[in-house]
A and B are shown apart, each in its own frame.
Chain A
């Protein structure tokens, strides 16, 4: 089974618009996973029916049983995050500050502190407008930036792909280089890097590719808004050559991306010209990798 993960390092490069196009072009041959759980937007283009929903629990949170608490203050003393202030003469855990390490629960002389799994969000299994299935999620506000929720989304997508005999999973990866991206990349068979020819685009491309290299996964690159700065575009092409990254396509700057988005459509449904052709060719290249 192929697991194609699309990432960008930097936000706003068109990663989700491009991923949604591949999901559309892949039609019934693919299963889609939106692993950008922090700001999941792909649903706005592919109209899932939010078919099945489940709570997702992850990360521990300390809770103090005030009945058992003798106010010795040992918990507050050992907490490296100052997450247990005294409020109205009671020791109260601040959920946004608690790291979930459990040190307080171990040190508490009266066993007044319990560590409980937090409900950090929901995940969904939906049918999208092409009739194929998509797994997606919604992370609660201020929740741990959960690599585990990303892993859950991917595993559910894999299970469905296996059950339905689908050969390809398309994954919209997370931004940045931290824990959610690491989760998005684990198990990938091919990585598509979406970038733009700007100083920030190149900077972030290089950083995120260093991470991809650590995993030893083969990668290809799409340069969006390629004509906005030809010099920087060339720099990216040089970088791709030097690192032996497949060049997939240059996409010119085009406001149809936004127009399609405002209509809730993928760009390949909206644009009948050059952009559509480029993305179709890109998808043909990627799916045979």
Chain B
């Protein structure tokens, strides 16, 4: 079963929830946690484990081979991203701009633009007891987060059995990286804050999940601060409300040091149990 943890707004506690839920649940069963926030992956800061595997992730880009090139300029003409350019007597490729569509390469009359791999990020696999943790990190300057997210998902799907509980820490927002990170999930947990920013961005996230026809539930973090409009919104829109993690200065302090919360704050443990119950019930009902 695949569970994605997402939020419209950044900084609402996706990573806190993902890492605490995964570690706590792993005390009972095997859990695979994957950080898909490849631009700013932070889950690893909270997970201790032994690195068992590391691999580079690549995207395919064209490389100009001068010998047979007749400088016809077709490559430049077919590229919609300004990633290939004829400059005087040479062809220049801009790797960061390339989306890897292969058009320039396959349509080149002299086959002068073979596709070669270019490193775009790193995938690391850590293990501790029942918890398998995978994270991918995008190289700074690379802009195509989606491709790295996709490759990371492929890695997880190919290396772990279908019925294992897989938790994915998704990137924030509502644009393409989030879509990629959530579109194959069986269930989405949306984390929000009971504040106007939280509510505003939650509505965007809910619209996104509805557009993707996904099943989702809501978890309120920093419960007690702000107002009750998020709860009201959930009940008015019949959105399952799964858990509320209290607002405590102590939580912010523990988080700041990279420590897990449930080990020190019993109330957090109770809420994690609520979440596990919700997910398990969902899993049974949908035979996942």
Say if A and B assemble together: yes
B80 touches A232 (CB 8 A): no
Whole-angstrom distance from the CB of B4 to the nearest CB of chain A?
Answer: 15
**Which of A12, A141, A211 is the one whose CB lies under 8 Å from B204?**
A141
Q: Which residues of A contact B227 (CB under 8 A)?
A: 262
Q: Chain A, 78-92, contact with B by CB distance < 8 Å: what is the 0/1 string?
A: 101000000000000
Q: Please state if A142 and B196 are interface contacts (CB–CB under 8 Å).
A: no
Answer whether residue A266 sits at the interface, using C-beta atoms and an 8 A cutoff: no
| Interface residue from B12, B40, B208, B212 paired with A9 (Cβ < 8 Å) | B40
Interface size class of B (residues with CB under 8 A): 35 or more
Beta-carbon contact of B207 and A253 below 8 Å = no
Q: B196, A261: Cβ atoms under 8 Å?
A: yes
Complex formed: what's the CA distance from A141 to B99 in Å? 21
CB of A103 within 8 A of CB of B201, answer: no
Q: Is B140 close to A, CB under 8 A?
A: yes
Establish whether residues B106 and A203, one from each chain, have CB atoms under 8 Å apart when the complex forms. Answer: no
Residue A136 lies at the interface, judged by CB distance under 8 Å to chain B: no
Across the interface, which residues of A come within 8 angstroms of B140, CB to CB? 177, 207, 210-211, 214
Q: Is the CB of B225 within 8 A of A80?
A: no
Query: Nearest chain-A residue to B257 (Cβ)?
Result: A229
The distance in angstroms between the C-alpha atoms of A107 and B106, with both chains bound, is 10
Give 1 or 0 for each of A232-254: 1 = CB within 8 Å of chain B CB.
10000000000000000000010
Distance of A182 Cα from B256 Cα, bound (Å): 27
Q: Binary interface profile of B, 59-93, with partner A (CB < 8 Å = 1, else 0)? A: 00000000000000000001011000000000000
> Chain A 99-142, CB within 8 Å of chain B: the 1/0 string?
11111001100000001000000000000000000000001011
> Are A80 and B100 in contact, with the CB atoms below 8 A?
yes
Check B58 for interface membership: any CB of A closer than 8 A: no
A39→B174 contact, CB < 8 A: yes
Q: Cα distance A271–B201 when bound, in Å?
A: 25
Contact indicator per residue, chain B 138-155, by CB within 8 Å of chain A (1) or not (0): 101101010000000000
Q: Is residue B282 contacting chain A, with contact meaning CB distance below 8 A?
A: no
In the bound complex, how far is the Cα of B10 from the Cα of A13, in angstroms? 9
Are A228 and B78 within 8 A (Cβ)? no
Q: How far is the CA of A236 from the CA of B121 in the complex (A)?
A: 26
Residues A11 and B175 in contact, CB atoms below 8 Å apart: no
Q: In the bound complex, what is the Cα–Cα distance between A229 and B207 (angstroms)? A: 37
Contact yes or no, A142 B211, CB < 8 A:
yes
> Which residues between 22 and 48 of chain B lie within 8 Å of chain A, taking CB atoms?
39-40, 42, 45-46
B176: CB under 8 A from chain A?
yes
Q: Does B263 contact A (CB under 8 A)?
A: no
CA separation between A71 and B13, bound complex, in Å?
Answer: 48
Q: Say yes or no for B126: interface residue by CB 8 A criterion.
A: no
Instruction: Name the residue on B nearest A180 (C-beta).
Output: B175
Q: Are A139 and B174 in contact (CB under 8 A)?
A: yes
Chain B, residues 219-235, CB within 8 Å of chain A (1/0): the string is 00000011100000000
Contact partners of A199 in chain B: CB under 8 A = 42, 45-46, 256-258
Whether B177 sits at the interface, judged by CB under 8 Å, is yes
A11–B200 touching, CB < 8 Å: no
User: Within 8 Å CB of A141, what residues of B?
Assistant: 174, 204, 207-208, 211
Q: Quick check: A39 and B256 within 8 Å, CB to CB?
A: no
- Interface bracket on A: 35 or more
With A100-B80, A101-B81 already in contact, the answer to whether A200 and B174 are too (CB < 8 A) is no
Whether B226 and A78, one on each chain, are in contact in the complex, defined by CB atoms closer than 8 angstroms, is no
Q: Which residues in A have their C-beta under 8 angstroms from that of B171?
A: 176
* Any B CB within 8 A of the CB of A145: yes
Within 8 Å of chain A (Cβ to Cβ): is B172? Answer: yes
In the bound complex, CA of A33 to CA of B261 (Å): 37
Question: Which residues on the A side are within 8 Å of B107 (C-beta)?
Answer: 106-107
Q: How far is the CB of A83 from chain B (nearest CB, A)?
A: 11
Residues of A within 8 A of B172 (CB): 11, 38-39, 175
A198–B175 contact, CB under 8 A? no
Q: Which of B8, B78, B102, B175 has the most CB of A within 10 A?
A: B175
Q: Is A60 at the interface (CB under 8 A from chain B)?
A: yes
Residues B196 and A264 in contact, CB atoms below 8 Å apart: yes
Write the nearest CB–CB distance from B67 to chain A, whole angstroms: 25
A277–B129 alpha-carbon span in the complex (Å): 50
Measured CA separation A211–B12 after assembly (Å): 24
> Roughly how many angstroms separate A147 CA and B40 CA in the complex, as a whole number?
18
Tell me, yes or no, whether A44 is within 8 Å of chain B by CB: yes
Q: Measured between C-beta atoms, what is the minimum distance from A6 to chain B in Å?
A: 14
Complex formed: what's the CA distance from A116 to B253 in Å?
A: 50
Which chain A residues lie closer than 8 Å to B249 at the CB level? 228, 253
Q: Which residues of the other chain, B, contact A184 by a CB distance below 8 angstroms?
A: none
Contacts of A100 in B (CB 8 A): 80
Contact of B201 among A9, A39, A143 (CB under 8 A): A39
Indicate which residue in B39, B173, B197, B212 contacts A177 across the interface (CB closer than 8 Å).
Answer: B39
Contact assessment for A145 and B177 in the assembled complex, using a CB-CB cutoff below 8 Å: yes
Given the known interface contacts A11-B9, A12-B10, the answer about A143 and B175 at a Cβ–Cβ threshold of 8 Å is: yes
Return 5 A-B CB contacts under 8 Å, by A number: A10-B11, A141-B204, A142-B208, A211-B141, A228-B256
| 5 shortest interchain CB distances as A-B pairs | A12-B11, A11-B10, A11-B11, A101-B101, A198-B256
A residues with a Cβ closer than 8 A to B are 9-13, 16, 38-39, 41, 44, 60, 78, 80, 96, 99-103, 106-107, 115, 139, 141-146, 175-179, 182, 196-201, 203-204, 207, 210-211, 214, 225, 228-229, 232, 253, 255, 258, 261-262, 264
